[in-house]
Amino acid sequence: MGIPIAWILGALSAAFDSSPVPASSRQLVLVVTLNDTATSGALLRFERDSGDSPWKPLGSEWPIVVGKTGLAAGAGLNRAPVPGLSLKKEGDGKSPAGVFALTSAFGFGEAGAGLRLPYVRLTETLECVDDPGSNYYNRLVDRSKVSNPDWKSSEKMREIGEYEWGVVVAHNSEPIEPGAGSCIFLHAWSGPEGATVGCTAMPTERIREIVHWLDPAATPVLVQLTEETYEAVRSPWQLPSGSTRER
């Protein structure tokens, strides 16, 4: 038997009596999936003038894909894991659920005009380490500048076409727990059927738009949840009203 829905909702109410979204946050990327095994969903962007102001939608809903096995509770700004979801683990093929800071951007070319996030141009030697046994686990590292690389597994960023544009999602970052999941990004997709191994992906023109919209001065965050969890935490977390998905 699965966990009763009433228990999940009660646990959510008890665990999330205040919002993990910082009061300083004025940009919010909301991703909602149908349930914890769905591999596709919807994305909406929101803005507000201050922590006391209501969230206002920006533009239309976009299609996205998430991990090939759905969502799991991630380690982000929320104080406790999302009840009713398994914990995110390295190699589980799940995208993290919760609230996460969006800290920097990366891509193949120069940053160009209008980009405000800290930006890293990907080179042939830049890797994201996904080996839990490494001292560099869950970090972007330039292999050419490491005297003794200790990792056995990594993503060679410049070799992945979907990383033409991307945003770093601060999952499992403060502190970094070995094995809790690594290298989580927003990035371009290979297509609407191309689920990821843990990131959130969308059409190239959409991720390019997000990269140039995000402003570190607005403390941008990603809120990524299932429909049911989103509706349960919407009020205590002071999130935008309504659902991103058409029923």
Task: Quick: pLDDT tens for 64-85.
Answer: 999 999 999 999 999 788 888 9
Least confident among 11-25, 36-50, 164-178: 11-25
| Predicted pLDDT at 112 | 83
Through-space distance between the first and last CA atoms of the chain, rounded to whole angstroms:
27
Across all residues in the chain, what is the average pLDDT? 92
What does the angle CA 116 – CA 122 – CA 124 come to, to the nearest 5 degrees?
170
pLDDT digits (tens, 9 = 90+) for 32-70: 999 999 999 999 999 999 999 999 999 999 999 999 999
Measuring CA to CA, which residue among 52, 59, 58, 61 is closest to residue 25? 52
Measuring CA to CA, which residue among 99, 96, 151, 142 is closest to residue 123? 142
> Residue 167: phi, psi to the nearest 5?
-130, 135
Q: Which two tokens stand for residue 185?
A: 């990004």
Predicted confidence band of residue 206 (pLDDT cuts 50, 70, 90): very high
Q: pTM here?
A: 0.91
